[in-house]
Amino acid sequence: MSELSGYGDGTRSVRAGEDPAVPGAPLRPSPVFAAPFHLGDQPPNGAVDFYARTGQPTLRVFEDAVGELDGGRCLSFATGMAALTAAVLACARSGDRVVLPSDGYYATRLLAAEELTRFGIEVQYVPTPEIGRVAADGGLAGASMVLLETPSNPQLDVCDIAAVATAAHAAGALVAVDNTTATPLGQRPLALGADMTVGSDTKALTGHSDVLLGHVSVTDDALYARVKGFRDRTGGTPGPFEAWLGHRSMSTLDLRLARQAANAAAVVELLAGHPAVSNLRWPWRPEDPSFALASRQMLRPNGVVSLELADEAAVSRLLGASRLWAAATSFGGVHSTIDRRAQWGGDDVPAGFVRLSCGIEDTADLVADLRGALDRL
């Protein structure tokens, strides 16, 4: 059991990955900027570092910290897509069938369409709200892997991880969960039965919009070796400075998520009563279709909200009238942003569909600014 398992989220966020205190040593681990290491007369046997693509002290500190929060063994990657690619391709082979969310992150579907099919891997697409029914009806028979994304990006639907994992394992399939939106503090897929949890740490986990990172966490040693072998051979390892920045930024994860959730709750209250807004989604709003499952499965809310405005022009007017909401993609950072998802061409959403990511600005300021911009519509 982890030494931090009895502590709260704030303590674990600050202390995860740290070694016991040593007098005279830095309070926080410092980055090690080394690619090759001295070998001396020792053969490269895994007991010592010899080349940073396969092992590096700063990466291990970051991985220990993320693994502590995930409840498993973590492997870091240069980006979230590098992590997701490793999770799939380390385990799937030609002739296998992989089940993916049809409504999840569009780059995952691009990976499937352009790369997985090229390797002879069959892809089955299922909407996030339907995967539970498909699993219960035996629709996962013959699949080798099921990838879930919950809450889904960008429409924020939630699926039952534990139920799907039970059905998938009965069918002989592995389960991976893209946990980017929830973060390890908001949801723990490994504890719910998933074999892998995947994160784009570029987003809320590091949260400052200044670093690209990803990770995969597992509990099974053999699966860990498979994913690590894929990473070592294909070179998706992050740089040490990026890993150090990620670990440093994780210290405030609990605080950031709490403010983002509080901002989202206030923003949702404003949006719910505004005539310019339709199809408002936030899984922690009692009227949301995912509210009951999110309340049972997830540990805390976050700051991501989706909604529809009339059209593209309405989104442009909203952004033009706002001082605090910036037009930007990605989410989970300290700045509040609005992303019109149809502009990227990968999501089946209307032209006026937007994903809001509530930052950590003062709640009253964000609400007042957004109210004024909405009233201009």
pLDDT in tens, 301-331: 999 999 999 999 999 999 999 999 999 999 9
The answer to whether the CB of 325 falls within 8 A of the CB of 319 is yes
Q: Identify whether residues 132 and 150 lie together within a single domain.
A: yes
Residue 362 identity: D
Flag whether 14 is in a domain: yes
**Which of the residue ranges 42-46, 94-98, 106-110, 371-375 would you say has the lowest mean pLDDT?**
42-46
Last residue of a domain, one of 200, 234, 250: 250
The answer to whether the CB of 223 falls within 8 A of the CB of 240 is no
Q: How many CA atoms lie within 13 A of 139 on its CB side?
A: 15
51 DSSP assignment: B
Mean pLDDT across the stretch 337-361?
97
Catalytic machinery residues: 53, 105, 178, 203
Q: Confidence band (pLDDT; 50, 70, 90) for 161?
A: very high
Flag whether 4 is in a domain: no
Q: Identify whether residues 242 and 318 lie together within a single domain.
A: no
Which residue has tokens 């994913």?
227
Q: How many CA atoms lie within 13 A of 1 on its CB side?
A: 5
- Reading across the β-sheet that carries 214-218, which strands appear in turn? 73-77, 214-218, 196-200, 174-178, 145-149, 97-101, 122-126
Last residue of a domain, one of 199, 215, 250: 250
Residue 197 main-chain phi, psi, to 5 deg: -120, 135
CA distance 262 to 240: 33
CA distance 146 to 16: 30
Q: Identify whether residues 141 and 285 lie together within a single domain.
A: no
Name the domain count of the chain: 2
The model's pLDDT over 61-81, given as tens digits with 9 standing for 90+, comes to 999 999 999 999 999 999 999
Measured CA distances, 310 to 45, 209, 323, 340, 374 (Å): 61, 29, 21, 12, 12
CATH of the domain at 342: 3.90.1150.10
Last residue of a domain, one of 250, 269, 293: 250
Residue 52 main-chain phi, psi, to 5 deg: -70, -15
Q: Classify 161 as helix, strand or coil.
A: helix
Domain encompassing residue 306? 253-375
Write down the pTM of the prediction: 0.96
Measured CA distances, 192 to 20, 163, 256 (Å): 30, 9, 25
% of residues, the chain, pLDDT over 90: 90
CATH of the domain at 116: 3.40.640.10
Residue 176 identity: A
Q: Identify whether residues 211 and 293 lie together within a single domain.
A: no
